[in-house]
Amino acid sequence: MRKDHRPYYLKRLWFNWLEFYARHFIDPHLDSLGENPFIVKPWHLILFGDPIHIGGNVTLLASAERKINLTVWSEKEDADGIVIGDHVLISPGVRILAANSIRISDNCMIAGNVYISDADWHGIYDRSSSPGRTSSILLQNNVWVGDSAIINKGVTIGENSIIGAGSVVLGDIPANVIAAGNPAKVIKPLDREPFVTRKDRFDNMIELKKLYNKYDRKQLKGNSTLGWLRHLLFPRPGD
């Protein structure tokens, strides 16, 4: 599909349905969910165990072939579980498995197929028991983790740092650097330029929604229900 054939009212109904689904079916399974969550296809968000906290203005992009999996499996009654801050982006296929504590701070971006786990899940010599050795993970503010990276137990990634695609992070990464490789190593420091974070863009969601609605009205002007059905049933070149 090259363009959106939906009439404006159908697109608004779709987004209203996503909001309703998140609050009615997802929120009850969480320990907390902040304001203005944007969860694409929330029925493909897999939640297991507790506690799981998700902050405000988050964006979770799930899909049928690449679900988002947030799992807490802990022997500790006081485990922190999974804590996701405000304005965080989590892309399709991300798996976050906590046996103790995984914290993803504000404004972090997690690209597709990233795997984050704070446990071995089995012992090296006793492989009959779970979760094995555990050690907390912390992603500080504004961290960006590239596609298919793996973050292992006991890792802290410093503020603003970037983890390259496909990297395997076995040890701490300092703030304000780019790290990549297996095992991940610092490649170079980031330039000392001011950062524009996700909060800077998505903090005022009321005004942003008004802007998006105005854009949608303009882009979808002229679309009709019959035209939308036609492109679904009888697609033409250029659709």
Mind telling me the catalytic residues? 122
How far is the C-alpha of 195 from the C-alpha of 174, rounded, in Å? 17
Where does 34-152 show beta strands of DSSP type E? 38-40, 45-48, 52-54, 59-61, 68-72, 81-84, 89-90, 95-98, 101-104, 109-110, 115-117, 137-139, 144-145, 150-151
- The CA-atom distances, in angstroms, between 37 and each of 13, 16, 72, 110, 139 are 16, 12, 21, 16, 20
